[in-house]
Amino acid sequence: MVIATDILDKYPDLPDTNPSGTHLDWAWLAGHESEWGIRPKPSARGLTMMDIAVGSYGEVPEVPKHRAMAARGADIDDDVPDMGYILNKKSDVWAENVSELYEEAVARQWSATRDIPWNELQELPSDLEHAMCQLCTTLSEIEMIASDLPAKWRWRMNHEFLEAKMFLCTQIMDEARHTEVFRKRALANGGGLLKSRAGTESLLRTIIEAKTYTQATALLHLLGEGFILDLFRQGEAIAPTEVEKRIFRMTMQDEARHVAYGTLHIRHSVENDPDVAEEIHEALDHGEHAMVALGGNPDMSTSLALLLAGGAEKVEEVGFPLQQRLNKNQFTSYLARCERAGISRLERTQLPLDKLGIDIEAIKGPGG
């Protein structure tokens, strides 16, 4: 290890060993070979990830040269070890809005401890409290898969796609908070955690065992989170008190962000690698069946219907019909997002579109 001449010219007093005798080259004192002097300017809200995406630092390679944890844009040794990443194409993980979504996620974090007005909980009629507790039990169960699934794949993503990895970290935190807040709500009003069924667990296993990240993200971000987003919308609408309204609104915001990543990630993926379209379709063929089954999960659907009805007396008269109407919204939103993602399901889906009352033209056209 020898100190380069240009460094010695500038700093002639540098020693070539440290006190323990290790040889030193002080190479970093030469600065970056091309980017020294780049000075990103903070925007109105501070120094964002978009602000620092300048010069070569903002260039995300389609296929990175290295498979190391080295910081993208640094002077990287050629012999850095391979970390075993398997998602090494930008199209594997990227979405054009991912930096913005990361900043949004960081700015819009919230606390299930502090930001929910827990002291405003009110005693509810027994049937409503049971229904809310059952809904929260199921949600607490299924929310964590949206942490586990990105976590399963995130460490296999090339580190040069750091913005995507950072965004998925926020999703993992979001879903941990969702598990927390629904568990807290189930317990906080004197009810508790109710039924958990084998059928639900089997469906979750189908999702977590997706064979590729592309299939996993289609199932999770486009299909699953889209449905849960609509479920949270319904939850806010039927919330008996401001406590539940706030819970569902805050979780809804997080969920919509995850869906926004998924929609544009799938689009980026398909545009840059059309071969993955069939892979995504196959995943959604199975996933739609699974989602219908999950939506039809007797515990979740009946608890939701009872809440929609405002009590046990009007479940048949009000709850189930309203639920069917809202299911139409759920499937319409999902199919519209598939169109936006460039993976039209209208000709392929086995969902009973007529029976659900889906207006295909509205999905195809603007303003829907």
Partner 1 sequence: MIDSLTLYDRLAKEMADSPNQYELLGDIDMDLAIVMNRPDGSAFRLMLGFAGINCEKVAEVEAGDEANADCWLVGDLEHFQAMFDNITANGQATGEWTLNTLTLMDERILLRASDPMGWDMFHRFNQTLQEFFDGASSVLSSATSEES
Lookup: tokens for 75:
């002077």
Options 61-69, 149-157, 168-176, 226-234: segment touching partner 1 (CB under 8 A)? 226-234
What SS3 class is residue 36? coil
Nearest approach in angstroms of CB 84 to partner 1 is 34
Which residue has 């608890």 as its token pair? 303
Q: Report how far residue 279's alpha carbon sits from residue 84's, in angstroms, rounded to the nearest whole number.
A: 23
If one asks whether residue 51 binds partner 1 (CB under 8 A), the answer comes out as no
Contacts of 336 (CB under 8 A, 6+ apart): 363, 368
Neighbouring-strand partners of residue 17: 23
Nearest approach in angstroms of CB 72 to partner 1 is 25
Nearer to partner 1, 3 or 270 (CB): 270
If one asks whether residue 329 binds partner 1 (CB under 8 A), the answer comes out as yes
Nearest approach in angstroms of CB 194 to partner 1 is 25
Contacts of 342 (CB under 8 A, 6+ apart): 266, 267, 270, 271, 277
Nearest approach in angstroms of CB 5 to partner 1 is 49
For residues 69-88, which are near partner 1 according to CB under 8 A? none
Q: Report how far residue 98's alpha carbon sits from residue 53's, in angstroms, rounded to the nearest whole number.
A: 12
C-alpha neighbours within 13 Å on the C-beta side of residue 84 = 4
If one asks whether residue 278 binds partner 1 (CB under 8 A), the answer comes out as no
Of the candidate residues 148, 236, 273, 279, the single one contacting partner 1 (CB under 8 A):
236
Is residue 287 within 8 Å of 219, Cβ to Cβ?
yes
If one asks whether residue 344 binds partner 1 (CB under 8 A), the answer comes out as no
Nearer to partner 1, 38 or 50 (CB): 50
Size of site (CB under 8 A) for partner 1: 39
Nearest approach in angstroms of CB 293 to partner 1 is 23
Neighbouring-strand partners of residue 46: 43
Nearer to partner 1, 30 or 169 (CB): 169
Is residue 82 within 8 Å of 68, Cβ to Cβ?
yes
Of the candidate residues 147, 303, 323, 333, the single one contacting partner 1 (CB under 8 A):
333
Nearer to partner 1, 25 or 339 (CB): 339
Q: Say how far residue 351 (Cα) sits from the centre of its chain.
A: 24
The candidate with the shortest Cα–Cα distance to 170, out of 252, 264, 257, 262, is 257
Of the candidate residues 223, 259, 294, 306, the single one contacting partner 1 (CB under 8 A):
259
CB neighbours of residue 258 within 10 Å: 27
Lookup: tokens for 337:
């997002």
Nearer to partner 1, 289 or 340 (CB): 340
Which residue ranges make up the site for partner 1 (CB under 8 A)? 44-45, 100, 103-104, 107-110, 115, 229, 233-234, 236-237, 242, 245-246, 249-250, 252-253, 255-257, 259-260, 263-264, 326, 329, 333, 336-337, 339-340, 366-368
